[in-house]
Amino acid sequence: MGTQRKILLANIHHLDQHTIAGYESRGGYSAVRKVLGMDPLKVVEEVKLSGLRGRGGAGFPTGQKWSFVPRNTGKPIYLLNNADESEPGTFKDRVLMERDPHLCLEGMIIAGWALQSNWSCVYIRGEYGYPYIRLKRALDEAYSKGYLGENIFGSGFTHHIVIHRGAGAYICGEETGLIESLEGKKGQPRIKPPFPAVCGVYGSPTVVNNVETLANLPWIMNNGASAYAAIGTDKSKGTKLFSCSGHINNPGVYEIEFGYPMQQFIDEELGGVWQGRKLKAVIPGGSSVPVLRAEDLKGVTLDYEAMVKAGSYIGSGGMILMDETTDMVEAIRNLLHFYAHESCGQCTPCREGGHWVSKIFNRISTGKGLPGDTDLIESTCSQIAAHTICFFGDSLAMPSQSFLRKFPEEFQARINQAIGGNAPKYESLNYDFGEGAHH
């Protein structure tokens, strides 16, 4: 596919890019000046035509999301920048906030004008100390130059941005959990409908977009929707950031055009699997998406549709690669420990089921597995997925089931080893889930 176009990471190698002087010297804040002279609805239409989809995981069309916002309610409209990047395997938004914070802010102002919002907020993950410092300094610089506050850029438009630090809850990355937290309540997702676009922060129309999504807006408005739509594939437009970690020679954050062959990306951009070993498995979009075996990657391209066809999702772009030495039983045990711990506890299937699944994986991993354990995990997961208020239940069920289905031989071998080949009848077993089983 040749050289990959850079939209979001084009300037991060400049040491002064995080400052307002450095950012403006490379064309920064030119897009927002142009946008402030446009009809806000035209800006929404331009974003629609660009084909930009949400980069936080769901992939919903951004312009369409904006168009759901009612503009005649008499209530303020709020914009929330979701920087609660807590999915295991993801660290792309961190790079944008650390290296190019003004790009994040300019994207927010553009969205603010399009939505006619006078107040927006960056909800940033509490553990992100350095990104917070960089973003706060950029915010102070923007205010000091009159780019935020009253009459920004002399346009007569008022827009304020505040930064709110989370307290380390994965569930606050879910948009309604984020809203609850921002209002000072426990970070637990809301039942939808009503959707945030109609009833969000303080009962007012609200749009929640991811950091990467908003950071695309300056380029789109400077270069035009058609230029952006020409990049990528028919249904997956533009570029995507991937946080790549695991058993590879070149871990890091990469920006690639949608449609890039996945195997080529691993071999050429990521430098292949480390220590001369073979690739065994890939989690392509963050820990909540189904795992793929190495042989599943043949002919797969990195875009939303191709990844679904392959049996997984692009998600938030957190690509975790595992070599042939990886113990898949241990890998999923580790992941499920995280999900069981991070459940907000609001829905019974997720609150109870997550702990049960985690305990069964732990039992198999520690050599105490029982015949029928894999069936029990499958059954429990089927009762969790799609039975909770938010997507968290699916996020723990999907990887659990996919690990079992993609690597059944490893789980069965561990169970066979535990029972020594003398399997008692599954129905008559008295299950010992270990300490805390009745928690």
Residue 222 has pLDDT above 50, yes or no: yes
| 190-194, 401-405, 417-421: segment of lowest average pLDDT | 417-421
pLDDT score of 439 more than 50: no
Mean pLDDT on 156-162: 97
Tokens of 174: 């879910």
pLDDT value at residue 423: 47
Q: Give pLDDT, residue 422.
A: 54
Sequence-distant (6+) residues with CB within 8 A of 225 are 46, 47, 48, 49, 50, 51
pLDDT at 429 over 50: no
Contacts 24+ apart (CB under 8 A), 360-363: 360/433, 361/329, 361/332, 361/333, 361/336, 361/400, 362/333, 362/337, 362/434, 363/432, 363/433, 363/434
CA distance 181 to 199: 15
SS3 of the chain: the string is: CCCCCCCCCCCCCCCCCCCHHHHHHCCCCHHHHHHCCCCHHHHHHHHHHHCCECCCCCCCEHHHHHHCCCCCCCCCCEEEEEECCCCCCCCHHHHHHHHCHHHHHHHHHHHHHHHCCCEEEEEECCCCHHHHHHHHHHHHHHHHCCCCECCHHHCCCCEEEEEEECCCCHHHHCHHHHHHHHCCCCCCCCCCCCCCCCCCHHHCCEEEEEHHHHHCHHHHHHHCHHHHHCCECCCCECEEEEEEEECECCCEEEEEECCEEHHHHHHHHCCCEHHHCCEEEEECCCCCCCCEEHHHHCCCEECHHHHHHHCCCCCCCEEEEEECCCCHHHHHHHHHHHHHHHCCCCCHHHHHHHHHHHHHHHHHHCCCCCCCHHHHHHHHHHHHCCCCCCCHHHHHHHHHHHHHHHCHHHHHHHHHHHHCCCCCCHHHCCCCCCCCCCC
Confidence at 3, pLDDT banded by 50, 70, 90: low
Q: What is the structure's pLDDT at 215?
A: 98
Residue 4: band (very low, low, confident or very high) from pLDDT cuts 50, 70, 90: confident
C-alpha span between 271 and 24 (Å, rounded)? 34
Q: Give ∠ CA 148-27-256 in degrees, rounded to 5.
A: 105
pLDDT given for residue 421 in this prediction? 54
What is the structure's pLDDT at 243? 97
Note the pLDDT of residue 315.
94
Average pLDDT (388-411) is 96
> Does pLDDT of 218 surpass 80?
yes
Nearest to 370 by CA among 419, 328, 320: 419
pTM value is: 0.93
pLDDT mean over 26-50: 97
Contact 400, 329 (CB under 8 A): no
* Predicted pLDDT of residue 365: 95
Domains of the chain listed by start with CATH number: 20-229 (3.40.50.11540), 239-323 (3.10.20.600), 328-428 (1.20.1440.230)
pLDDT digits (tens, 9 = 90+) for 297-349: 999 999 999 999 999 999 999 999 999 999 999 999 999 999 999 999 999 99
Q: Taking residues 357-368, report their average pLDDT.
A: 96
For residue 396, pLDDT beyond 50: yes
Q: What is the pLDDT of residue 436?
A: 42
Contacts of 416 (CB under 8 A, 6+ apart): none
Q: 56 pLDDT band (50/70/90 cuts)?
A: confident
Q: With pLDDT > 90 as the criterion, what percentage of the chain qualifies?
A: 92
The per-residue pLDDT for range 87-127, each reduced to its tens digit, is: 999 999 999 999 999 999 999 999 999 999 999 999 999 99
Contact 222, 35 (CB under 8 A): no
Task: Measure CA 376 to chain center.
Answer: 29
- The pLDDT of residue 426: 42
